[in-house]
A and B are shown apart, each in its own frame.
Chain A
Amino acid sequence: MSAYLDNAATTKPSPECTEAILSALQSNYGNPSSLHSMGLQAQLMVDAARARIAAALSVDAGTILFTSGATESNNMAIFGTAARYGKRARRVVTTTVEHASVRSAFDTLEAQGFEVIRIAPEASDAEFAEKFAAAVNENTCLASMMLVNNETGHILPVKAALTAAKKKNPKLITHCDAVQGFLKIPFSASDLQADLLTVSGHKIHAAKGIGALRYQKGVKLQPLLYGGEQEKGFRPGTESVPLIAGFGAAAEAMRKTLEPRRHHAQSLRTECIAQLLLLDGIRIHSPEHGSPFILSFSVQGLRSETLLHFLAEREIYVSSGSACSKGKQSGVLRQFGVPDALADSTIRVSFSAENTSDDIRMLTEAIAIAQKTLIHKR
């Protein structure tokens, strides 16, 4: 028996997704740009998937661009905006807790001469949003804030921050990396006041290699790539019809189950916290009102990598910190007030609808054994 508790890293593709991918590979393999009927069939599949992603975000289908994933969407949003709107407005605002694909993009803008303001989280959401908006001035072209932090599950005050920021500078383009919130917590793109919004397929039971960028009508982006007219010329290259179809199918299935899945995750998370707190030396880092799908905690004295391998030997799969950073510490935990000594012992478990109480029991029992048998840090 195994327990896959690493759903913030990636999820198992849903049956709807794999079926749609297979069908696109086996029977509908036309190029959407081909003028013949097979091309048209492929085009229709892409359109249908686009409509499904749009429905999941409560937006118009004409505002969804497919990309190779969230990293590309984030890069496209940040560099595309800076190139288009940043010739005179040389200031950009973001937070200190973004995913690497946003953080590194801003670091690169900084190297190109942009003034990058990075706002750290505050204890109160209102204060955080206020500080974020205060950093925006008339010279700011872009403000970006993630919706759900991938390492801790903190939900950031995106709506308040972006609304206030836009009030300060109506010309401001706003971006939200919503990867860990998409189809996990309820929101609509327009409600968040995000002109640009990033989502990813493989975090919602679709395949790896597919994502989308939602843009507000009227926003002009400089493309990252040049070529054909696909995705309105914003993202040239033959569409990955199978992955797009799978993404659409997964999103459709997930959209219908958002509420029950959210409650399921919430109860697993509550149960997990309760069982963990029966053990000694556990510190929970995730906030009470964070994403129900992510739980970050440390097991004092054990190095997270050692514990992770110990758990993996028992077919229990979790992350240390964030899976993207493969052992490198991102510094995000510190921003949320986790002391460095504990950051080294931090484990992230993340849930999906497939998890059960048995998984939680396996996890907490194994941690109890680890605490007794593994060598502790000096």
Chain B
Amino acid sequence: MREIILIKYGELALKGLNRNTFEDVLLRNIRRRLKNVGAFSYAKAQSTIYITPEADTDAECSALLDAALPRLKKIFGIAALSRALACEKDFSDIAARAIPYLQDVLSNAKTFKVEAKRADKAFPMKSPQICAELGGVLLSHFHHLKVNVTEPDVIVTVEIRDTNAYIHAAKERGAGGLPVGTAGNAMLLLSGGIDSPVAGWMMAKRGLRISAVHFAAPPYTSERARLKVEALCEKLTPWCGSMAFYCVPFTEIQEVLRRECPEEYFTILMRRLMMEIAQQIAKIDDCGALITGESLGQVASQTLHALTCTDAVAKIPVLRPLIGLDKTEITDISRKIDTFETSILPYEDCCTVFTPRHPKLRPKLDEIEAAQAAVNWDDMVAQAVAGTTKKIFALHVTENGGGILI
């Protein structure tokens, strides 16, 4: 009997009749994620997925688990995961194996308790009895340990399931959320800054499959800036899965905007045109929503008035998961998901050429619409959409399960 991984899906278990679909998507995401780690077999039962490494030796098995765990921690839909030892459904086997298996974790603990889950009601011992007897076995072997049922250092869990019993002691939190792909598709406006990758990550966490659209304006923006955005896409794939990246040629629109429209409206008009193009590409890519990294009041184009003006263009929902977060909160997440270092690379686009000196903080929709109507944008927008290039970023896997830097 070897070690396996137990996957628990929290919220997912509540999903009534859809549960099977959700489980299947999660299982598919897990299989994809572990495909190039090694061979595993998968089983699901009673809100748990059992991942068993197919290995010949204990060492191989342990190496496979070491490689799999960090990857699994980035899969949305998993509430908790733990390494567990599979035993015969026999108390003496459980007790005998628990001692060496828990040696390390219990040697470093002062207090513990045992919890038992008896899913197989045919098992001859009842849960309290399992707890009491296994606790006794452990106490007699680890003399320094004390039982503490309210705040133990370690909780030893014994699960009696249909085919096996499982012992585990260190449950780790998973990425939470819902499996990517269960909530539909959405198009992320990805700028290269700190916020938008975080916004994409947050919505992927709620089960959306993400595509990204980026607006490039060479020579005002550089090749390095585009590569940086591509690197950000790559960094999101361990969480979001493979991702389509659309790059829109935006130079002409920016130049015409700058020449033909009032300076103070530049940013809002630009964002409206970005929204328009993004939703046209979203349609092509079968996305039902847009995602932006806007946070209320962060800059002039993110005031309530400004958002009203940009939203007026959108015919599909615009999801703004960062709307209520502070910059520090956003930065914390970007560090956690490892996009921060890439986001702050100094290849800022030369937006400062275009940025108005005094942007309008409270633009009125009718004024904005009038300003935009001064130019016929349809052809330029159509041209931008037609000139858009697409690139697929496959799930990116490195040894430590993270993305790579450019």
Contacts and interface: CB of A to CB of B under 8 A. Distances in A.
Contact of A375 (B223, B258, B347, B357): B258
Contacts of B255: 375
Interface string B131-158: 0000000000000000000000000000
A187 interface: no
Interface string B211-223: 0000000111111
Interface of B: 218-223, 254-255, 258-259, 263, 346-347, 350, 352-354, 356-357
B220 A306 contact: yes
Contacts of B347: 327
Interface in A290-309: 303, 305-309
B325 to A, nearest CB: 29
Given A303-B352, A303-B353, A375 B220 contact: yes
Across chains A and B, which 3 residue pairs bring their CB atoms closest together, nearest first? A309-B219, A310-B219, A306-B350
A312 B220 contact: no
A313 B353 contact: no
Contacts of A376: 353
Contacts of B353: 303, 306, 375-378
Contacts of B357: 378
A312 B218 CA distance: 10
Contacts of A303: 350, 352-353
A308 B259 CA distance: 22
Q: Taking chain B's interface residues, is the majority helix, strand, or loop, or is none over half, making it mixed?
A: loop
A327 to B, nearest CB: 5
A374 interface: yes
A14 B346 CA distance: 33
Given A309-B223, A375-B258, A376-B353, 8 more contacts: A307-B219, A309-B218, A309-B220, A310-B219, A312-B219, A374-B219, A375-B254, A375-B353
B350 to A, nearest CB: 5
A289 interface: no
Given A303-B352, A303-B353, A375-B258, A328 B346 contact: yes
A304 to B, nearest CB: 10
Interface of A: 303, 305-310, 312-313, 326-328, 374-378
B354 A313 contact: no
A303 to B, nearest CB: 5
A378 B356 CA distance: 8
Contacts of B220: 306, 309, 375
Nearest to B355: A378
B352 A326 contact: no
Contacts of B219: 306-310, 312-313, 374
Contacts of A328: 346
A303 B158 CA distance: 67
Contacts of B263: 378
30 contacts: A303-B350, A303-B352, A303-B353, A305-B222, A306-B219, A306-B220, A306-B350, A306-B353, A307-B219, A308-B219, A309-B219, A309-B220, A309-B221, A309-B222, A309-B223, A312-B219, A313-B218, A327-B346, A327-B347, A374-B219, A375-B254, A375-B255, A375-B258, A375-B259, A375-B353, A376-B353, A377-B352, A378-B263, A378-B356, A378-B357
Contacts of B218: 309, 313
Contacts of A312: 219
Contacts of A309: 218-223
Nearest to A344: B352
A308 B357 CA distance: 24
Contacts of B258: 375
Contacts of B352: 303, 377
A221 to B, nearest CB: 34
Nearest to B220: A306
A175 B169 CA distance: 63
B316 to A, nearest CB: 31
Contacts of B254: 375
A375 B354 contact: yes
Contacts of B223: 309
Nearest to A314: B219
Contact of A326 (B346, B354, B356): B346
A172 to B, nearest CB: 38
Contacts of B259: 375
A331 B51 CA distance: 58
A313 B221 CA distance: 12
A306 B356 CA distance: 17
A376 B353 CA distance: 7
Contacts of B221: 309
A307 B219 CA distance: 7
A166 to B, nearest CB: 41
A203 B222 CA distance: 25
A305 B259 CA distance: 20
Most buried by B among A305, A327, A376: A305
